[in-house]
Amino acid sequence: MFELTLIMLALPLSAFVVLLLGGKIIPPKKSPFVAITAMAISTVLAWALLIAVILGKEFERHFTWFDVGGQIVHLGVILDPLAAGMLLVVTMVALLVQIYSLGYMHGEKRMNWYYAALSLFTFAMLGVVVSSSLIQLLIFWELVGLCSYFLIGFWYEREDASRAAKKAFLTTRTGDVGFLVGAILFFTVLGTFHIPTLYERAASINPNLLAVMVLLLFAGAVGKSAQLPLHVWLPDAMAGPTPVSALIHAATMVAAGVYLVARTYPLFEMAPVALEVVAYVGAFTAFFAATIALVQVDIKKILAYSTVSQLGYMMVGLGVGSLATGMFHLTTHAAFKALLFLTAGSVIHSLHTQDIREMGRLYPKMKVTAITTIIGGLALAGVPPFAGFWSKDEILLEAAHNHFTLIYYLALITAGLTAFYIFRLIFLTFFGDEEVEAHESPPVMTVPLIVLAVVSIFIGFLNSPFLNNAFGHFLGEKEALKPDLSIMATSVFVAFAGIFVAYRSYYFQPGKKSRLNSLLSKRILAEKYWINQAYLRTFGFVADFLRHVAYNKYFVDEFYQLVIVRPVHYFADLLYLFDLKVIDGLVNSIGWATLSVAYSVGGFDVAVIDKAIVHFGKGAVGVSKIMGGFDVEIDKISVSMGRGAVGVSKVMGGADSKTDKATESLGWTNLRLGWLARGFDLGIVDGAVNGVGLLIAGIGKRLRRIQSGYLQDYPLIMFLTVLTLIIVVIFLGKK
């Protein structure tokens, strides 16, 4: 089992290595098959593992990575129902997306790189899923982010793509700081990264501290799963190829945040406050993103905001309900959102535009795409019996049951908005009034659509009363809530209401005038429903204003630009200026000050320097006298130093190079020092005092001569004189 899990992980990794290193050997046309073969085997293994887990063969293994101050940092692999289920989601979607990419990316250059990055991503994502160590999870988590960076920036020649890639990486990394600090806190407080051990030990600590710690982990989830306020990167990430959006930015990576909360769920349960925060963040994100999706015109942007919104839903599921509730919605969403992205890709592939206003009557030309989109849309809108209905209903049920009234209504409204925007998309794309040139995509693209559509129809039953809530039981939920018919009816009603409004507004019936936006048209409202014109004007104004705000995503990006990005850059420029002018300026002014002191001391002749050396020499000799036999040693040293230096200068040869001059003078200086040391025994104090002044003069002189550029030797003289000076002072002090 353990070995099987490792093989499943290793396959996509080896595909990555083969494609990366064999870049020139493997022809681009063959490269997809390397990746797809590896992926297919991984998928089969994931099935096998799931079946094994259903049969009760769970396992967990951990081992030492390294130790820090006696505490062991673990790595570990876990295969429990949570992991096994998620593995299947990841491998299935990854496999379908890789097959689909054969058609979608046909003719792209850099196919090797594309499939290499997809394979690496899959490896990293599977790594996240099977990690039983918080730190190992973080490693794979960051690797996932890196692959996302690569793939968003796949068309890196495009400014928007390279910018979006950077933005995604930075935004998620902001959350990851929380994750990292949280993980380290767990390590320092509880002594391990091993998640099952953390469950056992967490009960022993202060619940408030625990709440802080799990919320730090949650910060990482907020970044990865694009929750408020770190949601801004996901819509931009749509600059990547559409299959990538389906895999990474809809089905798997963005769900990693939800998975992280699920993986550490027992810790969250011990800190109920944290769980409430999760619920509220999720609910507001769900609502907020849905309102933006209402008015977008880029088909991928609509789906991106929809993803943000649905991820919020999952967080609500975890926050108000249970592990199974959130994970169930993750699973169904993976199917129908991947489907929706791939159908959108099919449309984009055919039309080369992402603007739904430029689409039109595609239904007759792209029947498979259209029908599968509708299935995905029904699943997303929560129409029974499609997948989304079951998972969404359960979240609403849990919210109502656990008395999260505000969250319940937010979620309910969001459900209505969701149904509206997805059918707005469907009607405008497939049932508009314009005839556009289009063709159905090749089977390599449509077959994955059909597979996902079938899954989207049926997967919901897994956790329905019909199958006795099998999914929940599998994830260890003891007792599912009894279905509440009134809540079911309400949610179905809301979904149909949303679809109906979209139908009235955007469905084009041949022979009739386009009803685009007609529902909110003032004239019709006034004529049909006798509403006061003044009210309508205000209403119209407010509606326009709201639409404008939502269309511009509540100006969050602009806000961040204003209060974070630009101030950071200004601050950076300011500090650099500070570095140049103040700190370096201080250094330079010290130089200038020294120079002027040197002027006052007078004389810039070589003689001054010579004198200084003489004085220091005297000092040195004085020292040697005091030390007795020491002077012989100094003699020896300096003579030999001198010889050595002369040797060096000889080695350097050559008459007129600067280096030669420098080395020669090094030898020369040393020789002179040695010579000096042999002589005189005049006042040490004298030498020291005069030396200080002359030293300064020396520095000043040197600074003055910098510009003339031929005085590389002076620092050496200074160095040697200072050396002597210090010996003098110290010995004096000793006496």
Partner 1 sequence: MKLPLLSMITFAPVLGILVISLIPRGKDMLIRRVATIFSALPFVFIVYVFTQFDFGAKKMQFIERIPWIKQVGIFYYMGIDGISIALLFVTGLLSIMAMLASWEIKERVKEYFTLMLFLETGMLGVFVALDYILFYIFWEITLVPMYFLIGIWGGPRREYAAIKFFIYTLLGSVLMLLAILALYFQADINSFSITQLWKAGRTFALAVQIPIFLGFYAGFAVKIPVFPFHTWLPDAHVEAPTAVSVLLAGVLLKLGGYGFFRIAMPSFPAAFERFVPWLVVLALINIIYGAYVAMAQRDLKKLVAYSSISHMGYILLGLVALNEAGLDGSMFQMVSHGLTTGMLFLLVGIIYSRTHTRLISELGGMQGKVPMLAGALAFDSMASLGLPGLSGFIGEFLVLVGVIMAAHLHPVFAVLAALNIVLTAGYLLWMIQRVSLGKIGEKLKSITDLSGFELAYLIPLIVLILLFGLYPTLLLNIFDVSVKNILTIMGG
Q: Which long-range contacts (CB under 8 A, 24 or more apart) does 244-247 make?
A: 244/97, 244/118, 244/151, 244/152, 244/154, 245/300, 245/303, 245/304, 245/341, 245/345, 246/93, 246/97, 246/100, 246/337, 246/338, 246/341, 246/342, 246/345, 247/93, 247/94, 247/97, 247/118, 247/121, 247/338
Contact positions with partner 1 (CB under 8 A) in 179-208: 180-181, 184-185, 187-188
Beta carbon of residue 241, minimum distance to partner 1 (angstroms, whole number): 16
Nearer to partner 1, 406 or 726 (CB): 726
C-alpha–C-alpha distance, residues 85 and 67, integer Å? 32
Comparing CA positions, the residue from 314, 333, 335 lying closest to residue 325 is 314
Closer to partner 1 by CB, 212 or 488: give it: 212
| Binding region for partner 1 (CB under 8 A) out of 34-42, 357-365, 453-461, 705-713 | 705-713
| Cβ-based burial of 472 (10 A; exposed 0-12, middle 13-18, buried ≥19) | buried
For residue 733, the tally of other CB atoms under 10 A from its CB is: 7
**DSSP letter assigned to residue 79:** E
Contact criterion met (CB below 8 Å) for 49 and 84: yes
Are the beta carbons of 417 and 495 closer than 8 angstroms? Answer: no
Q: Is 13 in the site for partner 1 (CB under 8 A)?
A: no
Residue 107 interacts with partner 1 (CB under 8 A)? Answer: no
User: Given the complex with partner 1, which of 394 and 631 has the nearer CB atom?
Assistant: 631
The least distance separating partner 1 from the CB of residue 78, rounded to whole angstroms, comes to 19
Give the shortest CB-433-to-partner 1 separation in angstroms. Answer: 39
Q: DSSP alpha helices (H): ranges in 431-583?
A: 443-458, 470-474, 485-506, 522-529, 533-551, 556-560, 566-577
Binding to partner 1 (CB under 8 A): which residues in 294-323? none
**How many chain residues touch partner 1 (CB under 8 A)?**
77
- Of 376 and 622, the one with the shorter C-beta distance to partner 1 is 622
Contact segment (CB under 8 A) with partner 1 among 136-144, 426-434, 437-445, 519-527 equals: 136-144
DSSP β-ladder status, 59-68 and 71-79 = antiparallel
What's the token pair of residue 72? Answer: 């062991």
Query: Taking the complex as a whole, how short is the minimal distance between the CB of residue 342 and partner 1, in angstroms?
Result: 27
E-strand stretches of 58-99: 59-68, 71-79
| C-beta of 23 vs 540, nearer to partner 1 | 23
Q: Using the rule CB under 8 A, which residue among 21, 54, 489, 723 binds partner 1?
A: 723
Among 21, 44, 54, 170, binds partner 1 (CB under 8 A): 170
Q: Could you tell me which of 307, 284, 285 has the C-alpha nearest to residue 296? A: 307
Q: Among residue numbers 53 through 72, which ones bind partner 1 (CB under 8 A)?
A: 65-66, 68-70
Sign of CA dihedral 601, 603, 604, 605: negative
Residues 485-544 within binding reach of partner 1 (CB under 8 A) = none
Nearest to 617 by CA among 666, 664, 684, 699: 684
Task: List binders of partner 1 among 606-665 (CB under 8 A).
Answer: 627-630, 633, 648, 650-654, 657-659, 662
Q: Report d(CA 309, CA 315) in Å as an integer.
A: 10
Minimum CB separation from partner 1 for residue 722, in Å? 5
In the complex with partner 1, the residue whose CB is nearer, 23 or 442, is 23
Of 70 and 107, CB closest to partner 1: 70
Q: Does 701 bind partner 1 (CB under 8 A)?
A: no
Stretch that binds partner 1, among 50-58, 264-272, 274-282, 715-723 (CB under 8 A): 715-723
Taking contact as CB under 8 A, which single stretch among the options 82-90, 195-203, 523-531, 710-718 is the one that binds partner 1?
A: 710-718
Contact between 733 and partner 1 (CB under 8 A)?
yes
Give the x-and-dash track for 557-596 against partner 1 (CB under 8 A): -----------xx-xxx-xx--x---xx-xx---x-----
Cβ proximity to partner 1, 174 vs 518, nearer residue: 174
The CB density around residue 131, as the number of other CB atoms within 10 Å, is: 25
Name which of 585 and 602 has its Cβ closer to partner 1.
585
**161/246 with CB nearer partner 1:** 161
| In the complex, minimum distance from the CB of residue 684 to partner 1, in angstroms, rounded to a whole number | 16
List the one residue from 173, 473, 522, 704 that touches partner 1 (CB under 8 A).
173
Distance CA 310, CA 419 (A): 12
Q: Which of residues 393-412 bind partner 1 (CB under 8 A)?
A: none
Near partner 1 by CB under 8 A: residue from 139, 481, 595, 682: 139
Contact with partner 1 (CB under 8 A): which of 3, 159, 479, 656? 159
**SS3 state of residue 75:** strand
CB of 584 to partner 1, least distance (A): 4
Q: Classify residue 729 by burial, with Cβ atoms within 10 Å: 0-12, 13-18, 19+.
A: middle
Residue 35 beta carbon to partner 1: minimum distance, rounded to whole angstroms: 19
How is 614-673 classified by DSSP, letter by letter?
HHHHHHHHHHHHHHTTHHHHHHHHHHHHHHHHHHHHHHH--SS-HHHHHHHHHHHHHHHH
